[in-house]
Amino acid sequence: MDFSTLCVHGCSKRYDTTGSVSVPIFQSATFVHPGVGLSTGFDYSRAQNPTREYLEQTVANLEGGADAIAFSSGMAAITTLMEIFSPGDHIIATDDLYGGSHRLFSHISKKNGLTFDFVDTTDVQNIKKCIRNETRAVFIETPTNPMMHVTDIAAVSKLCRENSLLLVVDNTFLTPYFQRPLQLGADIVVHSGTKYLGGHNDTLAGFIVVSDAALAERLRFLSKTTGACLSPFDSWLLIRGIKTLAVRLERQQQTAFRIAEWLSKQDKIRKVHYPGLPSHPGYEISKKQTSGFGAMLSFETDSKETAHRILERVSIIQYAESLGGVESLITYPMLQTHADIPQQEREARGIGECLLRLSVGLEAADDLIEDLRQAIYGGKANV
């Protein structure tokens, strides 16, 4: 079945007899037992809820996984994932990592006895050098947030299998529409469902998707026990958002490519980071392992003043955190998403006062380019 059809129709399971086209919101905390020792399959919504189950089966189908588990946020998903590890375990992670993940690993997971090496995973040899007896997993983002570095998932998977390590891939930027890490050898995929899967900047959600049923059962126990489950209403919002995932991403990617090309020609823009540009170091790997380049890009201005001027003058594009919605958002990573990373570390990775991150929405490409033009050079936008 085509991916677009899967997005619209989700999973085949139905939970009511009314013929409702829209999946019902089962806004119930608990469910009646039909008898002693009997269950409808649903007992308490922290453990499972029909609306959430429909969403989870849909996401599992899209990623080609054995199971998917929905959480109250992307960080709740990653926090629960860290519970499969024990004190003393070692994890190798991408160095250019979303600031929230870096904050969790550096301040919470380390406190709980885990150790980390943050390396440039675009070179598999950097990962290989860090493997030791205590290493249990490799955690990568590709493309990374915010520098858009690309890691060869299949190559890292091969290394992980040779060393009996789990491979975790954060697939938030590309979603299963453009990239399916499980098919490339990953064991676990995580998402901030808040972003493209939801697609409308109106709810928080997170997912863990796995290829192994035994690992799924272990994670479901942790999810039920720690309790960061996704509510029925938020599950319904994600179901609705996923229905348009394919068409949204196609349009957003087309616009992002036009903007990336336009920015590349501006004298006040020093560098554009977008995997869809042939000049990008990860372009060939992206073509090999993805079906598209996505709608996220970052760019470096010629000065801090230019960066601030853009943030303060854009009118259609909105200066706000988050990404992946129908509205275009521009972010200042050093003050927002990556503010908690020590300055020296942050700047060594290129996240400085001239770097801006742009999430391209569904507005007309010409309008967005004109908005950027007037913000960079001044003058009234012709929109």
At 216-250, the pLDDT tens digits run 999 999 999 999 999 999 999 999 999 999 999 99
Look at phi and psi of residue 37 and say left if phi exceeds 0, alpha if psi is from -120 to 50, else beta: left
Annotation marks residue 240 as catalytic? no
Indicate which residue of 195, 251, 313, 357 is catalytic. Answer: 195
> Residue 380 pLDDT > 60, yes or no?
no
Annotation marks residue 132 as catalytic? no
CB 206 within 8 Å of CB 77: yes
> Residue 3 pLDDT > 80, yes or no?
yes
Name the superfamily (CATH) of residues 246-377.
Answer: Aspartate Aminotransferase, domain 1 (3.90.1150.10)
Annotation marks residue 54 as catalytic? no
Indicate which residue of 52, 67, 89, 98 is catalytic. Answer: 98
CA-based torsion, 49, 53, 59, 60: positive or negative: positive
Cα separation, 205 vs 171, in Å, equals 14
Annotation marks residue 98 as catalytic? yes
Indicate which residue of 46, 224, 270, 287 is catalytic. Answer: 46
3-state secondary structure of 304: helix
Location of each CATH 3.40.640.10 domain in the chain: 3-242
Cα separation, 121 vs 159, in Å, equals 12
CB 82 within 8 Å of CB 110: no
CATH class of the structural domain 3-242: alpha beta
CB 208 within 8 Å of CB 71: yes
Residue 88 pLDDT grade (very low, low, confident, very high; cuts 50, 70, 90): very high
At 300-352, the pLDDT tens digits run 999 999 999 999 999 999 999 999 999 999 999 988 888 878 888 888 888 99
pLDDT of residue 383: 42
> Residue 377 pLDDT > 50, yes or no?
yes
Location of each CATH 3.90.1150.10 domain in the chain: 246-377
At 109-158, the pLDDT tens digits run 999 999 999 999 999 999 999 999 999 999 999 999 999 999 999 999 99
List helix spans (H) across the chain.
Answer: 3-9, 50-63, 74-81, 99-103, 124-130, 153-162, 175-178, 213-226, 232-242, 245-264, 283-289, 304-313, 343-348, 365-377
Indicate which residue of 67, 170, 234, 371 is catalytic. Answer: 170
Task: Write the DSSP assignment of 267-302 as a string of letters.
Answer: TTEEEEE-TTSTTSTTHHHHHHH-S---SEEEEEES
CB 323 within 8 Å of CB 331: yes
pLDDT of residue 379: 67
Cα separation, 243 vs 258, in Å, equals 25
Looking at residues 52-77, what average pLDDT do you find? Answer: 98
